[in-house]
Chains A and B, each alone.
Chain A
Amino acid sequence: MFCLKTYILLIFKILLVQYSFAQKEKNCSCDFTKNACDLLCCCDQDCSQADLNAFNCLSDESEITENTILNSCIPKNLLFSSNIPYVIKLSASLFCVEYQEINLPSRSNQYYLDQTKLADKINQISFNNNFKSDFLDITKDYFDITDFIWTINSENNLAYLTSPKQNDRVPLHFMINKNSEYLINANDSWDTIIMNEISSLQNLKVISNPKALENCTIDPFNTCENLVNMNINCYLDDTIQNNCEDLIKNNINKLIIKSYEILIEYFNPEGIKNATVNFKLTDKSILSNGFFRQSFHLDFKKNSTSGSILSGNPGYIMGKPVIAAFNSSTNGSIFEIPSDSEKRFTIFSPLIKCSSDFGSRIQIKFGQNLASDCILEVENLEDLEKTCTNLKLKIEEIFLGNGFRPNYVASFGNMIEYNENDEWIKIENVPVVETNLQPCKNVPYGLSIEIAYAKVGNAIKPENKIVQVAYRWLTNELNLKCFEKKCTDKIKISTWVTFVDQSLNSKIEQAQIYKAKRVLDENFFAPFFNNSFKISYLNLKLYLIVLIVYKFLF
């Protein structure tokens, strides 16, 4: 009986003492912008309390991402069997469980709750002093990630924004970016419906925060000052058009929407500050079989955000731009990094005619293999050697661009912030053109950019590090079709970007993971009384109370 009492007391003590097995990581892997708050990044030191409230950050949570895969591991010899629905990974000495924590239950509830009401896309609401809505919670002080993006039109119709695909309409949420691609049949009526929607967005205003309508007394509410105008921009083949509405009305059967982009600027807790919709249109006649891919993007950006964007923190994240720099000095201390991430490391676009224009180049993104080719028309010159020399220079311009030409690549995604000279990787074989000897020999027609990377660090949460970058040039002797000293020809030039994973199999050592073992050497009572635990007067009082209660009870 004495043992039982002691045991109960011990359990009570365990409940009283706050301890943590897991050490919080010092690195905030979702912090991509220097001196600016990143969207939905709860561990970002730059975020204000208003931002964290709007992100619905939980107190013990370091970051919220939609698809965060977590790992839990224990030594394999401790476990006999498991009957779990999770993904199990077994290594030499560890039993690991891969799982996903759903941190946003309220958002998913909201989503399914309103699914039934999606048919009533626009709900007529009579605005008066007793304004109430089942959907828009006007009692809230600020919008958070559980809320829709509410709009109001000139006829006082309240609606929330949804994704554009007709048979896959889902509500869009405040501060949650969305990127989708849809396969559209241009001959189907679906796309025409979206085209009609463009004109309906013309007079739309976005409700900046739940209280925005509270002090509006003017009827219609659309004229209320607290609302944000929805700016509509139309681009026809990358050229901005003056009158979007007229363009669509007049060409409703001739144009298609290639890309539909909503950009929303916010500042918490005031809410939405600016909203812009960009439609990129193109002629339907270019489609060969009537099908095309339509992309949809919803991007939230903090109002007045200025800060260099990182490509990972610290390791690269798949799909983020590869950071490249130019270093002209021999000692390797001065690195020139363009502030515009789109100009850092690029290849030419797949066009019918080759172009060295920097604006049309494609960004190299981490982990994404690319291939591109184009046709280069040889200029008609009488001197063949001069033709070849000029051609080589032109090809070099096409391959490497006529602007920024990097010769170094950052090994980690956060190198802009933590610039360490040792961590820059020199690109091998950057110089290409030798114009002096036999210019028509060794004309480059292909460039393969090989980027080797490896997973480093913690085996459970590895970081991607670029370890080697090399240009491999494909050359050939140029044989032009010449007729009476005039040469005309076309050359097909190609480029590829290949990412190669060179990670070695991780060697997991038990001592690296089980830090409790190390603590136990110093402190017998760990983890119940570890180094971070300090006996305070409050704790002592609690123990005394527990002891007195215990004496009375038993």
Chain B
Amino acid sequence: MAADLSVRSSLPLQILLYLNQWYYIFWLIVESLSFVFKGQTLPFASGVLAGEIILFIFLFLLDMFRIHFATKGNLTERIIGIIVSIVLTLPCIGGSLYLLLWQHYVLRIELIINAIQLVFIALEVILEIIAIIVFARSNA
């Protein structure tokens, strides 16, 4: 029986993850400059700014892990990597929503960059689910 050598990795997902990686560097710069601006010009209750910065750094690291697992899972055609990525998506959505809606001051630029980030996450989740279905079928 001949081995099935066809590539099942999702190209749209891979393109999206690649773009998301670069977008995330841009997001990091803009978001951190926003925090510098807000910290210098607006009052914060004690500990709130520090808490928001910690959340922002934690969210960046978490999202990088999410993208890393999704990339590896997609390229190696392993479901487990993509599942880990989907699990990590939930706190990432929560963090992005916090920065979009519930943080002390939401700047207009933050609204735009976090909304784009959420669109990226949503598209990636859809493509990841499709990828899982494709990989599961081929393994069956």
Contact = CB atoms under 8 A, between A and B. Distances in A.
A97 B36 contact: no
Given A70-B43, A82-B104, 14 more contacts: A7-B25, A11-B32, A14-B36, A21-B40, A72-B41, A72-B43, A78-B107, A80-B110, A81-B101, A81-B106, A82-B105, A82-B106, A83-B106, A85-B45
Which DSSP category, helix, strand, loop or mixed, fits chain A's interface? mixed
Given A7-B28, A84-B104, A97 B42 contact: yes
Nearest to A84: B104
A80 B111 contact: yes
Interface string B103-125: 11111111100000000000000
B105 A84 contact: yes
Interface string B28-57: 110010001000111101000000000000
16 contacts: A11-B32, A14-B36, A21-B41, A74-B41, A77-B108, A78-B109, A79-B105, A79-B107, A80-B107, A80-B111, A81-B101, A82-B104, A82-B105, A83-B104, A84-B104, A99-B43
A61 B139 CA distance: 69
A97 B105 CA distance: 11
A3 interface: yes
A119 interface: no
A391 B88 CA distance: 93
Contacts of B45: 85
A79 B106 CA distance: 6
A86 interface: yes
Interface string B3-32: 000000000000000000000010011001
A86 B32 CA distance: 23
Interface string B77-121: 000000000000000000000000111111111110000000000
Interface string A78-98: 111111111000000000010
Nearest to B44: A84
Nearest to A100: B43
Task: Name the residue in B28, B107, B110 with the highest tally of chain A Cβ atoms < 10 Å from its Cβ.
Answer: B107
A461 B103 CA distance: 28
Contacts of A4: 25
Interface residues of B, number: 21
Contacts, number: 47
Interface in A244-268: none
B57 to A, nearest CB: 11
Closest 10 CB pairs of A and B: A99-B43, A80-B111, A80-B106, A81-B106, A80-B108, A82-B105, A21-B40, A72-B42, A74-B41, A3-B25
B29 A78 contact: no
Contacts of B25: 3-4, 7
Contacts of A7: 25, 28-29
Contacts of A97: 42-43
A405 B76 CA distance: 97
A85 B110 CA distance: 21
B103 A83 contact: yes
For chain A, which range describes its interface: under 10, 10 to 19, 20 to 34, or 35 or more residues?
A: 20 to 34
Contacts of A82: 104-106
A74 B41 CA distance: 7
Nearest to B110: A80
Contacts of A99: 43
B102 A83 contact: yes
Interface string A99-121: 10000000000000000000000
Interface in A48-82: 70, 72-74, 77-82
B65 to A, nearest CB: 15
Contacts of B109: 78
Contacts of A77: 108
A305 B28 CA distance: 57
A4 B36 CA distance: 18
A79 B108 contact: yes
Contacts of B107: 78-80
A97 B29 CA distance: 26
Q: Which of B36, B105, B109 gathers the greatest number of chain A CB atoms within 10 Å?
A: B105
Contacts of A79: 105-108
Nearest to B28: A7
A74 B102 contact: no
A85 B105 CA distance: 11
B87 to A, nearest CB: 25
Contacts of B42: 72, 74, 97
Interface in A1-57: 3-4, 7, 11, 14, 21
**Of residues A72, A80, A97, A99, which shows the largest number of chain B Cβ atoms within 10 Å of its Cβ?**
A80
A83 B110 CA distance: 14
Nearest to B43: A99
B68 to A, nearest CB: 13
A7 B31 CA distance: 13
Scoring A4, A14, A81, A82 by chain B CB atoms within 10 A of each residue's CB, the highest score goes to A81
Contacts of B102: 83
Contacts of A85: 45
Nearest to A70: B43
A86 B25 CA distance: 33
Contacts of B106: 79-83
A86 B42 CA distance: 11
A72 B109 CA distance: 19
A374 B110 CA distance: 67
B36 A78 contact: no
A399 B63 CA distance: 79
